[in-house]
Amino acid sequence: EVQLVESGGGLVKPGGSLRLSCTASGFTFNTYSMYWVRQAPGKGLEWVSSTSSGSDYIFYADSVKGRFTISRDNAKNSMFLQMNSLRAEDTAVYYCARDYFRVPKELYYYMDVWGKGTTVTVSS
Amino acid sequence: QSALTQPASVSGSPGQSITISCTGTSSDVGDYNRVSWYQQPPGTAPRLIIYEVTNRPSGVPDRFSGSKSGNTASLTISGLQAEDEADYYCSSYTRSSTPVFGGGTKVTVL
């Protein structure tokens, strides 16, 4: 079964850090571009960051640039999101998602497989 | 990058057709045929239902169809069913090589 499972969420104080993980199974992880998308409580979807299959291309939303770092370990079928200098407005459910197409060094942003999400709460 | 503009809510009776619009700019929707649509029932993760403006992934009913004209993309649900009640989001590729989502539309089946 194709599956993504996020972990690492929790309650953190403003200015703190968290590292989210996304573990993939059921597909050839190292051939897909991967994404982080978040959803604040009662709000819409917001793209956070992207990495191509070989980490050649990495992008960040302006709202997290300089604070968040995306990475992946293809040998461990895992993707990560290191989140530093967290703010209240980073409070959200964080989803990892897979691209629909498998094209090296290309990001189509058609997200066909999603995890269930992990909740990050930034509050004092 | 500003969010794409969607109506906050759309409603219809079972069996009717509804259309959700998604308006962007010449830097995203108008410049690329990389528009996708997602369905998100309450408390669940989003589900891809349309990619590349008009294409449906395997398993998505053909009641769902997509189109685009200029800077506006549209999702039409024909033969509306109770199970279609959910939030719907559009997304487009942009000139920044990043995506932008719409604000979401709540579909209510009356």
pLDDT tens profile B45-94: 999 999 999 999 999 999 999 999 999 999 999 999 999 999 999 999 99
Supply the pLDDT for residue B21: 98
Residues 6+ apart with CB under 8 A from A45: A37, A38, A39, B38, B40, B46, B89, B91, B101, B104
The pLDDT of A61-78, averaged and rounded, is 98
* CB contacts, 8 Å: B51 with chain A: 100, 108, 110, 112
Residues 6+ apart with CB under 8 A from A42: none
Separation in Å, CA of A3 to nearest CA in chain B: 13
Residue labelled with tokens 């051939």: A31
User: Is pLDDT of A39 > 90?
Assistant: yes
For residue A69, what pLDDT band results from cuts at 50, 70 and 90? very high
User: Is pLDDT of A43 > 80?
Assistant: yes
Contact A109 B38 (CB under 8 A): no
The partner residues of B68 in beta bridges, in order of sequence, read B73
* CB contacts, 8 Å: B47 with chain A: 114
**Side by side, which strands form the sheet with A18-25?**
A3-7, A18-25, A78-83, A68-73
Q: Which phi and psi (to 5°) does residue A89 adopt? A: -75, -5
User: Is pLDDT of A8 > 80?
Assistant: yes
Contact A45 B52 (CB under 8 A): no
Supply the pLDDT for residue B11: 97
Query: Least CA distance to A59: which residue of chain B?
Result: B98
Contact B101 A111 (CB under 8 A): no
What gap in Å lies between CA B54 and CA B9, rounded to an integer?
A: 22
Structure tokens at A75: 């040998």
Separation in Å, CA of A45 to nearest CA in chain B: 7
Separation in Å, CA of A117 to nearest CA in chain B: 7
Query: Least CA distance to A57: which residue of chain B?
Result: B97
Contact B52 A110 (CB under 8 A): yes
Contact B48 A112 (CB under 8 A): yes
User: Is pLDDT of B1 > 80?
Assistant: no
The pLDDT of A47-54, averaged and rounded, is 97
* CB contacts, 8 Å: B91 with chain A: 45, 47, 109
Query: Tens digits of per-residue pLDDT, A71-119?
Result: 999 999 999 999 999 999 999 999 999 999 988 888 999 999 999 999 9
Supply the pLDDT for residue A104: 81
For residue A32, what pLDDT band results from cuts at 50, 70 and 90? very high
Q: What share of chain B in percent tops pLDDT 90?
A: 98
Residues 6+ apart with CB under 8 A from A35: A47, A48, A49, A50, A51, A96, A97, A98, A99, A109, A111
Comparing CB atoms, the residue among A46, A50, A111 nearest residue B48 is: A111
Mean pLDDT across chain B, nearest whole number? 96
Query: Least CA distance to A51: which residue of chain B?
Result: B98
